[in-house]
Amino acid sequence: MTTLGEWLARAPFGLAMSSGFFSFYAHTGMLAALRERGLTPTHVAGSSAGAMVTGAWAAGVSPGELAEVLARLERAHFWDPSLGPGLLAGKKFDALLRDMLPITDIAACRVPVAISVFDILARRTAVLTSGDLADAIRASCAVPAMFHPVWIAGRPYWDGGILDRAGIAGVPTGRLLFHHISARPPWQRTTRPQVVPRRPDLVSLVLENLPRVNPFRLDAGRRALELARDATKRALDRPLAGDLVSVDVTAGA
């Protein structure tokens, strides 16, 4: 039976990554495992933390370089409380992104990028495929109540995961690997069943039991990165039966 790794190597594929509070650690570990296997997506997309990781990689930041940035990350690097519609102004986060990204023009990225954001005025998902990459990532990561909205071309935006948790609103049809973070969004007061998207030629990778990460538990993020990388390596060698591969990160950890 064909393994997940063999399926990905068989033909070009896209990569989409879901939102998930501070899940950029796990996304980075997952992407590191793909690249170590020589698997390279031809286009990328994402919401929130997924947009940050796919956008950074498309701009030229390797998974190893991103892991180094995250290993050094402290709350003070993005914590800038300010009066307004949210706790944090987001200026420090903007500076962090611009210092990390080698380019900030989405059109100059090495592969096409689609970043989901929530258009506050229209109350719907918008997909950014051109413009300033740092602004797009910051808008997609702007968790309501935590960050001020991000204004782009005269419109305010919040976290792309509000309506497009999967981050696939702007993804064309075709072969797609979707990395799903199994965690409750911070604005969701109750636990709801999380539905993994399904469509032809889409395979979902779900990593279960990742450590919970938040601004006060960034050390758990570094552990999540390593667990996600190791679990993804195991997933790539698993037979692909259906359109879903689920791996418990604590198994064999």
Structure tokens at 46: 């994402």
**How would you class 63 by CB atoms within 10 Å of its CB: exposed for 0-12, middle for 13-18, buried for 19 or more?**
buried
Show which residues are catalytic: 48, 159
Sequence-distant (≥ 6) Cβ neighbours of residue 250 within 8 angstroms:
209, 227
Compute the C-alpha angle 158/159/164, nearest 5°: 120
| Closest to 164 measured CA to CA, from 42, 50, 30 | 50
Let me know: does 113 contact 55? Beta carbons within 8 Å.
Answer: yes
**3-class SS at 80?**
coil
Burial of 253 per CB tally in 10 Å (0-12, 13-18, 19+): exposed
Q: Are 53 and 43 in contact (CB under 8 A)?
A: no
Within the chain, residue ranges assigned H as helices are 4-10, 24-36, 49-58, 63-72, 91-100, 133-140, 218-236
Q: What does the alpha-carbon distance between residue 77 and residue 20 come to, in Å, rounded to a whole number?
A: 20
Integer Cα distance of 18 and 180 in angstroms = 5
